Structure 1
């Protein structure tokens, strides 16, 4: 499936002791190896940076994740977390595959409906949603995750006026993260369950959801087990249709080989970054894949030796999962054109490569972190192989506008007009933080599919 040629380099003079070679899906490898001219033409014609989105890889990920749940014998409804990427093409793919969408506001709901996803396959999350979103949710039979008793009352009133019943999940705080700002406390949950039974003509309690920070499969399994117990309690208290447990998103993605990641963590220090930047936290780039995480969650023991999946089957529980990043794994990459190279190797030991664009198009800095997989250098003209240490800066007037703070060991000198390709950026990186700063236009997205029978790739602008 995924291919890579990782290289672990020996420690050098505090500049770059290792490579973090990004894993590549075969489709990505084919585009970079066989269709560089097309990529260069797209970047030159559509502007830098340019996001390349690959819906066929997204579709492959949907099928693979569904298989991971099917292996456990527990059915799961997959809702693609729309917030992870704004591209329309992923909604179209979800609609064609019969999977749902998770949205958190009216604009996302409207896009999902317009993209062909029926309302009964749309889940609505987010705290204390407004009345307009409630009205659309009721009208289109969406599944609404409710965070407070006050919201539940408002939603019930909307459903009563529409003479409909709205399907709801009660989002509850977990024992592991009781201080979360999302979800109902134990007392609030108890009151909400009673209110659902009282308002059963207009509110159908379908189950429970939760919010977790982090990627612990054990913690997610234990939280899901709590929700199963809440379903059983709700059934006893007058809501017989409480059968859904929404385990949320939080499924990890592996960007680099695990051994490279372990070596990076072992050797990481501020000297490896521009201005000795000291980052405190990183995404776990070398961790589990999403399918591995699903299997670990479902196999985790929750009641003695009984696994989560066995308990769910025994009680007729169906899971809902809301992956964003996991369904976008390898489903897109971002290209920048090199605008300037400030070669400081003689004084500072590394160069500063300035690209046309800025760090807002690589959103890891939103989390006060750095996007760590090495970018791929596509040279405009051949030059001799030579390790060229450099960080990558944006072209704005901000001192902190660094696309990559880490000193990358490029395999040859970087020149003006070269292209840098940041791999696997579709999940949260591309557009979560983009803005028209300096009155710059927002970057475009080009949708690519490999041609059938070995033909050339087909492309179009997203949304057209």
Structure 2
């Protein structure tokens, strides 16, 4: 029998009612499906806000104990809408954007430019100009060429605040595609050098050489879905060492160091997410020890959680269609459970084998289970939503099925593959629902096709 157990990987507002239907913040999934249709992304607003507060308080407390300040930026690439940007800003977070589109959403939400950062390894001239016009608090430059482009767009009277993104060689994260600090990838400038100045040092010197730029600090991001805090500690020491080397070379001690994001969450029952209090204390102790060893004062720090804020707060609600048992070569039977969405609303399982958990949520479960694979409606054999899960033996067409922990990188990576409209994002709080992002329609798709 599958039993719905509140807690990870589900949001804190999820429970099962006496009639067997799961509720989110007091609203039954049956009500959600009736009012908003399926598939639908469902976001627990109170859970998002609580996680934002939790990260801010944990890191502010831990870093205050070592005498350092810290800012927490919400990494908008995980999921960004006008409402979510406002929620996290109201909870004391700033907003990190990685494209002009994300910047536009943050500005539409009323986030002050000073509280916004702009990332990106290939920013357009238009994106740079818009960031400068908005007065963003920092532009994270990613190459020597970009340093010159930002400087050319800025002015001596109004220098652009920039951070240099560096790669530390620390390889962390669940998959090669989401590990971002090893050398063979597109982001940042390496701190390693076989001969002469490293690319990272060259970039720092290039920023200092342009009066149109203000060198705010050094940025490092080592990967995503990280569950071992040691990677953060090693990378922080490398960045602080680079900072000290720059001071020895130029007399300039940059005022800020960004340690990036990538804090892991639970996707399956039994998994344990990184605890913000623990990671904050561990990283604070590490940077304090490093700065002491180097003989340099502590800078102001910043971090960029995204998935850890919004991921566990979301679920995707589907309706089951075709149910098909398939006999495997080893004699087992796997039941293919097709839903009315798929890889267009969650590409991660197909893209890099991400694992998720699903449950039948509209009724009481049966007494037995079957080995199941949840698949979508797309014309692809790799259209898999959940690779392997135990579902009720009587799972049938019309059942409501929910996939946990889809608040991050579900809607933000969604597509219109096979001309399937993207689902809505529905927020739930205190027994009420509201649509944050409406469902796309076929008319929306056809409006783009000029014939």
Determine if the TM-score, normalized by the shorter chain, exceeds 0.5: yes
| Counterpart among 343, 348, 351 of residue 335 in structure 2 | 351
Query: CA separation in 2, counterparts of 1:370 and 1:197?
Result: 42
Match status 1:206 vs 2:186 = no
Match status 1:298 vs 2:284 = yes
CA deviations over 1:131-176 (Å, ceiling 9, x no partner): 1111122222220111112111111111128x41110001122144
Which residue number corresponds to residue 37 of structure 2?
A: 47
* Paired positions, count: 406
CA deviations over 1:68-95 (Å, ceiling 9, x no partner): 2123223211111111113332101123
Matches within 5 A, 1:169-188: 169-176=163-170, 177-186=182-191, 187-188=198-199
Deviation of 1:292 (Å): 2.9
| Counterpart among 149, 164, 173 of residue 154 in structure 1 | 149
More helix by share: 1
Query: CA separation in 1, counterparts of 2:397 and 2:113?
Result: 49
Which residue number corresponds to residue 159 of structure 2?
A: 165
| Counterpart among 158, 181, 191 of residue 202 in structure 2 | 191
Query: CA separation in 1, counterparts of 2:420 and 2:295?
Result: 53
Which stretch has the larger CA shift, 358-367 or 80-89? 358-367
Which residue number corresponds to residue 288 of structure 1?
A: 274
Alignment root-mean-square deviation, CA: 3.0
Query: CA separation in 2, counterparts of 1:101 and 1:383?
Result: 41
Query: CA separation in 2, counterparts of 1:139 and 1:239?
Result: 31
Query: CA separation in 2, counterparts of 1:462 and 1:152?
Result: 37
Which residue number corresponds to residue 108 of structure 2?
A: 114
Change in Cα spacing, 1:433 to 1:371, as seen in structure 2 (3 Å) is same
Match status 1:332 vs 2:343 = no
| Structure 1 unaligned spans of 5+ | 7-20, 261-284, 451-456
Query: CA separation in 1, counterparts of 2:305 and 2:22?
Result: 30
Query: CA separation in 1, counterparts of 2:207 and 2:393?
Result: 64
- Report the TM-score, using the length of structure 2 for normalisation: 0.81
Which residue number corresponds to residue 344 of structure 2?
A: 360
| Structure 2 unaligned spans of 5+ | 171-181, 192-197, 439-451
Which residue number corresponds to residue 399 of structure 2?
A: 418
Change in Cα spacing, 1:174 to 1:462, as seen in structure 2 (3 Å) is same
Deviation of 1:289 (Å): 3.2
Which stretch has the larger CA shift, 394-403 or 111-120? 394-403
Deviation of 1:311 (Å): 7.0
Change in Cα spacing, 1:310 to 1:421, as seen in structure 2 (3 Å) is farther
Which residue number corresponds to residue 235 of structure 2?
A: 223
Query: CA separation in 1, counterparts of 2:74 and 2:290?
Result: 23
Q: For residue 155 of structure 2, give the secondary structure of its aligned residue in structure 1.
A: helix
